[in-house]
């Protein structure tokens, strides 16, 4: 019953948040340090969300608990929509086109990293500014490491390990959002940061409850 209530609350929060972001309008860019902070946040959170999508897709394929699969589906729906919104703001406010690199593509390139392959992916468009230049992933070892070990697990052990990894991942997003609120000028972006703090805190509570249930 406790988990069911948490699931319902998280779903309502996500629905309300997505409705608010849909009304975002184009605006002029912030300048100076505040503008740089906005760009760093938007690009970093797009990459961060892409990683959550990759982890959640793995969850849908391997998780055994129905509640966990439902959570992963909601994470995919919510964070995919947020990526689209953040890409739109980067384009409208800063004339930046930014496309995250999926973890599966990053892993396929890992073997050529020593030869510059992972840093010269001019065809992928990852991190392209105005479509002119590719940018390497922020921290490839960290992104790959989040999935390390999960491939060797199955059943309840996989579910618990995945939840622990996603709690850590959500915690990183909370810190990113808190830092942004010290600098962001665009009201829509501040609203997104506040929604991330609210939504992902609620999801952390849900995931902690799921871990407790699965560990019994």
Specify which residues 99 forms β-bridges with.
Answer: 126
Closest CA to 165 of 61, 54, 3, 40: 54
pLDDT tier for residue 22 given thresholds of 50, 70 and 90: very low
> Can you tell me the mean pLDDT for 144-159?
84
3-state helix, strand, coil in the chain (%, to 5): 75, 0, 25
Residues 50-95 pLDDT 10s: 999 999 999 999 999 999 999 999 999 999 999 999 999 999 999 9
Task: Name which residue leads in pLDDT, 15 or 87.
Answer: 87
Task: Sort residue 215 into left (φ over 0), alpha (ψ -120 to 50) or beta.
Answer: alpha
> Can you tell me the mean pLDDT for 23-36?
79
Q: Locate the domains of the chain by residue range.
A: 31-214
**CATH code linked to domain 31-214:** 1.20.1260.10
Closest CA to 79 of 187, 173, 210, 208: 173
Rounded to an integer, what distance in angstroms lies between the CA atom of residue 160 and that of residue 207? 9
**pLDDT at residue 69 in the model:** 98
pTM for the full predicted model: 0.75
- CA distances (Å), origin 93, targets 17, 46, 71, 87: 21, 16, 32, 10
Q: Output DSSP code: residue 99.
A: B
Please say if the pLDDT value at position 99 is more than 90: yes
Please say if the pLDDT value at position 130 is more than 50: no
- CA distances (Å), origin 71, targets 84, 108, 166: 20, 27, 11
**pLDDT at residue 147 in the model:** 73
């Amino acid at each position: 019953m406790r988990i069911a209530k948490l699931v319902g609350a998280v779903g309502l929060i996500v629905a309300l948040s997505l409705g608010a972001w849909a009304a975002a309008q184009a605006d002029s860019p912030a300048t100076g340090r505040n503008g740089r902070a906005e760009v760093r946040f938007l690009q970093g959170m797009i990459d961060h969300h892409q990683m959550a999508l990759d982890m959640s897709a793995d969850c849908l394929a391997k998780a055994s608990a129905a509640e966990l699969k439902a959570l992963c589906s909601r994470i995919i729906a919510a964070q995919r929509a947020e990526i689209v919104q953040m890409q739109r703001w980067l384009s409208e406010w800063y004339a930046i086109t930014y496309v995250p690199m999926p973890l599966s593509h990053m892993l396929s390139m890992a073997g050529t990293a020593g030869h510059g392959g992972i840093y010269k992916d001019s065809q992928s468009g990852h991190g392209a500014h105005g479509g002119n230049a590719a940018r390497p992933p922020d921290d490839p070892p960290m992104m790959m490491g989040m999935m390390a070990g999960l491939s060797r697990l199955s059943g309840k052990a996989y579910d618990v390990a995945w939840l622990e990894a996603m709690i850590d991942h959500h915690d990183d997003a909370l810190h990113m959002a808190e830092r942004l609120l010290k600098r962001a000028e665009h009201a829509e972006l501040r609203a997104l940061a506040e929604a991330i703090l609210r939504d992902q805190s609620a999801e952390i509570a849900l995931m902690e409850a799921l871990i407790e249930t699965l560990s019994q």
